[in-house]
Structure 1
Amino acid sequence: MSSRKEVLRPFEEKKDYMNDRIAGGIEANRKGFAFLNLTDEKGEPVKNAEVKVIQKTHDFKYGANLFMLEEFQNQEQNEKYKKYFADAFNIATLPFYWDTLEPEQGKPRFAKDSPKIYRRPAPDLCLEYCEANGIEPKAHCLNYASLMPQWAKGSVAWEKQCLERRFRELTGRYAARIPMWEVTNETFWGYKRLSNLYSQPDFVEWSFALAENYFPANKLVINEAHSRIWGNEFFYGTRSPYYMQIERALLKGARIDAIGMQYHMFYRKEKELAETAVYYDPERICDVLDTYATLGKPIHITELTIPAYSNDPEDEEIQAEIIRNIYSMWFSHAATDGIIYWNLVDGFGYNAAQGDMTAGENYYYGGLIRYDFTPKPSYQVIRSLFEKEWRTNLKLHTDSGALSFKGFYGQYDLEITANGKRIRKTIHLSKDQNNHFIIKL
């Protein structure tokens, strides 16, 4: 085993445990039975029917941030980005960072022709792309104190007034088009230096109360950094700070609909082995999910970066293997509803000049697509998991008009051939329904 491959040791040492959790969890939590009854116009069972079952979509959400939409230097790159994204994902994180969405008070950058800010495409532009490609948009983030514009900072009363206007404007323009909104993000950082409101003891509860008022029909998400969730210093079962923060907010009446968890492995290469061992431990991953699941809310992996550190083939294969393992564990867990990768393309990350692979997020080579816009093994792994390994396509036959199949939750096309006729029907196999379908031919 090469020195870099040592990072895979936690998966290898606990592979039996990991594989058992994955196999059992997927069968129990991601698949269900569909029961079909084929009848003619008189309600009589149709005999000797062939049924082709073709899965078209997944209910489980998997995506990336959409921060580089129409942000590249030429249109060829823009088109490649849009195709790579639409080919692989069904959800996108949209940038609603307040400091760049409204850098000047009263002049928000909502419209698609708004002045450009790097990695911050306008919401209208993002929504146009998502809706054209069947991708669910997700908003990040309503009240993120670290990226609050300077003009909005002041007294607690002033900050609340500014935030209420922001929430009111956003719901009026976007609530009907964006189902899921992150409300707070990274609230264990910079206690008193970010803003006066941020240092208030009821910051989280107040933010969710305001969000519930303005977004009553939307899913509201709390979000936190990876080290505050998975790491040794912050995970103590139900006594973990993030767990207790959520529990307290719920007990005080906050409507938190989902729990967001980041998973950025932003560690320098020379420190990777020591720093990531606990994060790549299958038992720790499952312990965290099992613990937070007791809060009774779905879990979303909201931000995810796995480094490759270079374009060396071995480094890229290690990245792909880690992604396969952690995606499989998260996908198999009953509480997990979605996984969102962070940067799709290398070289265009936060806090670095384009193409500077020594700085900021670029240093980690954490994208799924190389800087030259060729796909890495990690991109192919994600597509293969959701399009092949975790997808149900079958050919069935019935002589009685009744048949059933077990498949992954999602939308299906049925191609039915009987009595010299061929018809196509669409059904939705759902985790929350009884999934009995009467199909008239």
Structure 2
Amino acid sequence: MSDSGLRHRMGKITLTVRGPDRRARTDAEVTVAQQRHAFGFGNIGFDFVDLVGGARPDGPAQPFGGTDQPDLDRLGELWLNLFNTATLPFYWGSYEPRRGAPDTERLTKTARWLAERGVTVKGHPLVWHTVQPSWLLGLDLDEVERLQRVRIRDLVGGFAGLIDTWDAINEAVIMPVFANGENAITPLARARGRIHLVRMAFEEARAANPAATLLINDFDLSSAYECLIEGVLEAGVRIDAIGLQTHMHQGYPGEERMTELLDRFARYGLPLHLTETTLVSGHLMPAEIEDLNDYQIPHWPSTPEGEARQAEEIVRHYRCLLAHPAVRSVNYWGLTDRGAWLGAPAGLVRADGSRKPSYDALEALIKGEWWLPATTMRTDADGKLTVEGFLGDYTVATGAGTARFTIDAAETSATVDLA
């Protein structure tokens, strides 16, 4: 609670505490406790689709993360202890492998299960050229675009109120020139341009749910992405946040390079979301590998040395991100090693379900250093007390009842009624 470099993440509120009779509780002992961070500490929720929604015997395996972990209670406890935002998979090819038969019911159950536990849910992605349904192949471009527009409206409108944040378009920089597998979206992007597809994604999603938070997201963090963002903004497309992927299978680049990266994209005045973050706890992927997907090995174990490095680097990485005022959330890509992307030991939990040092280190930040635990305080002669802490949701309680309040500004005041 004393890190001066995170003052922009903190606030202060002066509460007037009243009892059920609406009279001020003067000189009263109360318990104040934090319940949730305003900052988005996220992880993928792919694991929960089968566990909560039930297995889908006629569909393909979940790509890019997910697990056969059978214990929902144990997995849920580990996940919910740290994270308040979840990314759920809406890859077209796995969501609708057969035309007209989308995986709506299972994803709805999963999103609702998370939302009921106070988790903000994001859908990923609306438009992407990878994990495409085979039934799109052979259709003319007009029909492909029409179906893509229908998909966007159906998803964003259908899940409105339950999922109000979406990666509107994923990896548009490479989309027109992607050559690693046949798909129907790359020819569309090549023929009509990146900005056309970005506009389509954002405008269709915005029309379906005007309250939605919509991201552009990419792994290519070069000047090409900056040029695309500038072109899109100049074209009048409204972007709510910029997504930056940081899969660090080849090692943590360090705070200086990370801050330079954040500064480059913060200059657009938009919130930054670190949408896909990984740090491995085994050997590092060789530096000469350009496309991470090209590194396929039969066994990539987690090691004690790697786990110690991962724990140290995850603390450095999260401290660096929270110190930058433009960053609104960081989404880690997978809780466990089981079923992890590329088979990498990138989880915070080992394949056997035991916690790695990185889990404990992150817990010490999110629920320790950056958290206000249950604290006994006393109101003054006017029933007032001042609470200072990280931006987020809190409770104040006495024997007469409990009230909720939010710290959302540098300094503010509010009256709460116990019930």
With normalisation by structure 1, the TM-score equals 0.78
2:130 equivalent in structure 1 = 146
C-alpha displacement at 1:241, in angstroms? 2.1
In 2 relative to 1, CA 85–251 (structure 1 residues): closer, same or farther, beyond 3 Å? Answer: same
2:54 equivalent in structure 1 = none
Q: Does 1:186 align with 2:171?
A: yes
SS in 1 for 2:176: coil
1:63 equivalent in structure 2 = 42
Cα contact 1:23–1:332 (8 A) shared by 2: no
In 2 relative to 1, CA 41–291 (structure 1 residues): closer, same or farther, beyond 3 Å? Answer: same
Of 346, 370, 378, 1:397 maps to 378
Structure 2: how far apart are the matches of 1:49 and 1:145? 60
C-alpha displacement at 1:158, in angstroms? 1.4
1:159 equivalent in structure 2 = 144
C-alpha displacement at 1:436, in angstroms? 0.9
SS in 2 for 1:82: helix
2:336 equivalent in structure 1 = 345
In 2 relative to 1, CA 439–345 (structure 1 residues): closer, same or farther, beyond 3 Å? Answer: closer
Cα contact 2:88–2:121 (8 A) shared by 1: yes
C-alpha displacement at 1:94, in angstroms? 0.3
Q: Which amino acid aligns with 1:103?
A: P
Taking the TM superposition and a 5 Å limit, the aligned residue runs for 1:28-427 are: 29-38=8-17, 47-69=26-48, 70=50, 73=68, 75=70, 77-112=71-106, 123-153=107-137, 154-189=139-174, 191-192=176-177, 193=179, 194=183, 195-199=186-190, 200-201=192-193, 202-225=196-219, 228-229=220-221, 234=222, 240-267=223-250, 276=251, 279-309=252-282, 310-350=301-341, 361-362=342-343, 364-393=344-373, 394-401=375-382, 402-416=384-398, 422-427=400-405
In 2 relative to 1, CA 60–50 (structure 1 residues): closer, same or farther, beyond 3 Å? Answer: same
Cα contact 2:405–2:416 (8 A) shared by 1: no
Structure 2: how far apart are the matches of 1:172 and 1:39? 41
Structure 1: how far apart are the matches of 2:335 and 2:388? 33
Cα contact 1:220–1:257 (8 A) shared by 2: yes
Q: Does 1:26 align with 2:6?
A: yes
Cα contact 2:11–2:411 (8 A) shared by 1: no
1:12 equivalent in structure 2 = none
Q: Which amino acid aligns with 2:274?
A: I
In 2 relative to 1, CA 290–389 (structure 1 residues): closer, same or farther, beyond 3 Å? Answer: same
In 2 relative to 1, CA 439–312 (structure 1 residues): closer, same or farther, beyond 3 Å? Answer: same
- Percent identity, aligned pairs only? 30
In 2 relative to 1, CA 155–23 (structure 1 residues): closer, same or farther, beyond 3 Å? Answer: farther
Which deviations, in whole Å up to 9, do the C-alpha atoms of 1:153-199 show, x marking residues without a partner? 44331111111221222134212210101111112225344522222
Cα contact 2:15–2:385 (8 A) shared by 1: yes
Which deviations, in whole Å up to 9, do the C-alpha atoms of 1:301-347 show, x marking residues without a partner? 11111011133222111101100110111122211111111121113
Structure 2: how far apart are the matches of 1:318 and 1:62? 21
Cα contact 1:52–1:414 (8 A) shared by 2: yes
Structure 2: how far apart are the matches of 1:60 and 1:198? 34
- Tell which deviates more after alignment, 36-45 or 130-139: 36-45
Which deviations, in whole Å up to 9, do the C-alpha atoms of 1:354-412 show, x marking residues without a partner? xxxxxxx21x3111111111111111122221111101243333433233232111111
Q: Which amino acid aligns with 1:49?
A: A
SS in 2 for 1:260: strand
Cα contact 1:410–1:430 (8 A) shared by 2: yes
Structure 1: how far apart are the matches of 2:5 and 2:326? 10
SS in 2 for 1:54: strand
User: Unpaired segments of 5 or more residues in structure 1?
Assistant: 1-21, 113-122, 235-239, 268-275, 351-360
SS in 2 for 1:396: strand
C-alpha displacement at 1:43, in angstroms? 8.3
Matched length? 371
C-alpha displacement at 1:74, in angstroms? 6.7
C-alpha displacement at 1:45, in angstroms? 6.1
Structure 2: how far apart are the matches of 1:80 and 1:399? 43
In 2 relative to 1, CA 423–78 (structure 1 residues): closer, same or farther, beyond 3 Å? Answer: closer
Structure 2: how far apart are the matches of 1:222 and 1:248? 13
Structure 1: how far apart are the matches of 2:349 and 2:69? 17
C-alpha displacement at 1:39, in angstroms? 5.7
Which deviations, in whole Å up to 9, do the C-alpha atoms of 1:247-298 show, x marking residues without a partner? 221221112101111110133xxxxxxxx4xx52212211222232221111
With normalisation by structure 2, the TM-score equals 0.82
Structure 2: how far apart are the matches of 1:429 and 1:423? 20
Cα contact 2:245–2:274 (8 A) shared by 1: yes
SS in 2 for 1:371: coil
Q: Which amino acid aligns with 2:270?
A: K
Q: Does 1:428 align with 2:409?
A: no
Cα contact 2:29–2:379 (8 A) shared by 1: yes
Structure 2: how far apart are the matches of 1:90 and 1:55? 13
Cα contact 1:320–1:377 (8 A) shared by 2: yes
Q: Which amino acid aligns with 1:266?
A: H
Structure 2: how far apart are the matches of 1:41 and 1:125? 37
SS in 1 for 2:36: coil
